[in-house]
Structure 1
Amino acid sequence: MTAPNTRVTDEPTAPDVDLHLPSQRRQSWRAQGPIVAVVAIGGTIGATARYGASLVWPVAAGGFPWTTLWVNAAGCAVIGVFTVLITDVWAAHRLVRPFFATGILGGFTTFSTYAVDIQKLVQGGHPRTGLAYLAATLCAALAAVWLAATTTRRMVAWRQR
């Protein structure tokens, strides 16, 4: 009888991979390394674009954070279009999705700034504005991704007829 596997890992691994073996650690890094690299590069691009938007359209203290709301809604719309295109229209290279969706759009859209904006509004004596922003961003993001994906699916179906 064998002892139960009491090894606890923080990362999910395939059942046939033993990261205690150096050769399998190298194989794992070879497979994941390019993905990590393209996500990092894409994230840098996306975060830089978001920072640029905040410089172009600054928000006054206590004011409604329109820039972050529109950035998040626009990013959600693009992810809606992108997801339909790479799943329904063409097979993309394995690094396209991590680079564009996780990297660029993940860096461009921002939950952390959204949360900090709400916190600043509430602590600054504008709880109603913070609550309105919380709800508006959620509704705008969900509506944007749904509308973009639905519209793209219809356009793709129309072109394929």
Structure 2
Amino acid sequence: MPGPSPSKAPRPVHLRWEYVGLVMLGGSIGTAGRYLLSTALPAWQGVPVGTFVVNIVGAFALGLLLEALVRRGPDHGVRRILRLLVGTGMLGGFTTYSSLAVETDGLITGAQLWPAFAYGALTLIVGALASTAGIVAGAAGHGWRPTRAAFLAKRHGGSR
């Protein structure tokens, strides 16, 4: 017996207009938020503080959101809508690694090598730490506490 015909198979999420629309709406909101925050925070000695803050806040928020969603269940219904609208859309539009690259290049072109290096490196390092903190915060809301016994049980496939 043949499987479902291609016309009857559900379309992938990235090809469904209602989900694409959610990402577009969220992206518009996130981009506007980034613009407002980055223009409200002036550069400090040529370093774009606004972009730095946007990327760190966005990394934390994305870690928190995705961890909280995954702990609440499978990616369906409201969880999928939140992930696409807020995660992919708003936070994807809010954060900006393309601006990080352009602004770092501008600092290098302006012969500000140390500020360029510090800005780029700190954005990546602090961003990784912020996303990790967001994941931990998202997990903490669900009673997750890392323990040595849990780590060993997972690592060795059983309990000790």
Determine if the TM-score, normalized by the shorter chain, exceeds 0.5. yes
Q: 1:132 aligns with which of 118, 122, 129?
A: 118
Whole-Å separation in 2 of the counterparts to 1:129 and 1:73: 18
1:50 aligns with 2:34: yes
Specify the alignment match of 2:139 in structure 1: 153
Which residues in structure 2 correspond to 1:87-126 (within 5 Å)? Answer: 87-89=70-72, 93=78, 94-126=80-112
Closer/same/farther in 2, CA of residues 128 and 31 from structure 1, 3 Å limit: closer
- Report the Cα offset of residue 29 of structure 1: 9.4
Specify the alignment match of 1:141 in structure 2: 127
Provide the aligned C-alpha RMSD in A.
2.4
1:69-116 CA-to-partner distances (Å, cap 9, x unmatched) read: 111010010011101111103555232211110100000000111111
Specify the alignment match of 2:155 in structure 1: none
- Report the Cα offset of residue 152 of structure 1: 2.6
Contact kept? 2:107, 2:115, Cα under 8 Å = yes
Contact kept? 2:37, 2:50, Cα under 8 Å = yes
Q: Please, which runs of 5 or more residues in structure 2 have no aligned partner? A: 145-160
Q: Using the aligned pairs only, state the percent identity.
A: 30
The 3-state SS of whatever aligns with 1:156 is coil
Closer/same/farther in 2, CA of residues 149 and 123 from structure 1, 3 Å limit: same
Q: 2:56 aligns with which of 73, 76, 85?
A: 73
Contact kept? 2:38, 2:54, Cα under 8 Å = no
- Report the Cα offset of residue 154 of structure 1: 2.4
1:59 aligns with 2:43: yes
Give the letter aligned to residue 80 of structure 1.
G
Deviates more, 1:88-97 or 1:111-120: 88-97
TM-score, with length taken from structure 1: 0.75
Contact kept? 2:38, 2:49, Cα under 8 Å = no
Specify the alignment match of 1:39 in structure 2: 23
Which residues in structure 2 correspond to 1:6-17 (within 5 Å)? Answer: 17=6
Closer/same/farther in 2, CA of residues 84 and 121 from structure 1, 3 Å limit: same
Contact kept? 2:40, 2:50, Cα under 8 Å = no
